Every structure is written in C-alpha cells, then in structure tokens.
Structure 1
C-alpha cells in the first residue's frame, strides 16, 4: 500500500448513472474506472491504480510524483 499515495477523484455522473473515478496524477484518459456505488468505485479505483503502477514498473517508466493537496 505504500505506493498508493496518489489522488483519486470520485464523482457522480448523472449521464452515466454511476460514480466515475479519475487518477489525476497519471496522464491519459480523464476517467479510469467507475462503480455503481461509492464503495465499489473506491475498490475499482484502487485496482486501477495498482494496475497502473504494475504497468509503469514493467515498462521501466518512472512513476509520476504524487500531487499533495494542502488543507488549510
């Protein structure tokens, strides 16, 4: 889990009738996965993130630097 320090954006989509999951630190498509419930969107987002990390490492590509948001 130590590599799972990346932002995950989850928002409801009326058009798609599901929660969309984005991983903004990774370039490419805006939405990576989805879920019918918030909980399934989180689980699917973690799975997508783990898959991205594996793919980057297998290709020998450096992982993007995680964005850190500061809450005031």
Structure 2
C-alpha cells in the first residue's frame, strides 16, 4: 500500500513527518529517519484501525497576507 508523507523542517532541527491518510505524525533527525518512523507509526495505526484507502490527498499551496507588526 502506498501512502503519502508530508515532511517539514522542525524549528529545533530534524524533520516532522505527517501521513494524511492515517493522521499519524512523527519526527526524525534526517528525512530517512522521519520516513522510517512514519512508516512504523502508520503500520501500527493500520494494525489497530484497518482502513481501505481508495483516494490520495491533493497537495497544493496557497498564500496568505503578511502579518502586520
């Protein structure tokens, strides 16, 4: 089963990894570690809450007005 991963750089270093299909989130010092941790978290989630995932999330970007100081 192929799932999605959204990775963002963490302010304290490393990466935060999020899987939108299961809602699992984890982190790691490297992209590889974050993905490995996310894979494990998603597998554990799906063992407890089996799901039939038929669609993939649509990822895009958008802009917001800058915050006035």
Alignment TM-score > 0.5, same fold: yes
**Distance in 2 between residues matched to 1:54 and 1:26, nearest whole Å:** 11
Which structure's relative contact order is higher, taking Cα pairs within 8 Å and 6+ residues apart?
1
**Distance in 1 between residues matched to 2:48 and 2:18, nearest whole Å:** 17
User: Which of the residues 14, 22, 29 maps onto 2:18?
Assistant: 22
Spell out the pairing of 1:28-67 with structure 2 (5 A cutoff). 32-57=25-50, 62-67=51-56
Deviation, structure 1 residue 42? 1.0
Cα RMSD, aligned residues only? 2.0
Moved over 4 A (4+): none
Bigger share in helix: 1
Higher radius of gyration, 1 or 2: 2
- Secondary structure (helix, strand or coil) at the match of 1:25 reads coil
- Structure 2: which 5+ residue stretches go unaligned? 59-69
TM-score by length of 2: 0.66
Cα gap change, 1:24/1:9 in structure 2, threshold over 3 Å: closer, same or farther?
Answer: same
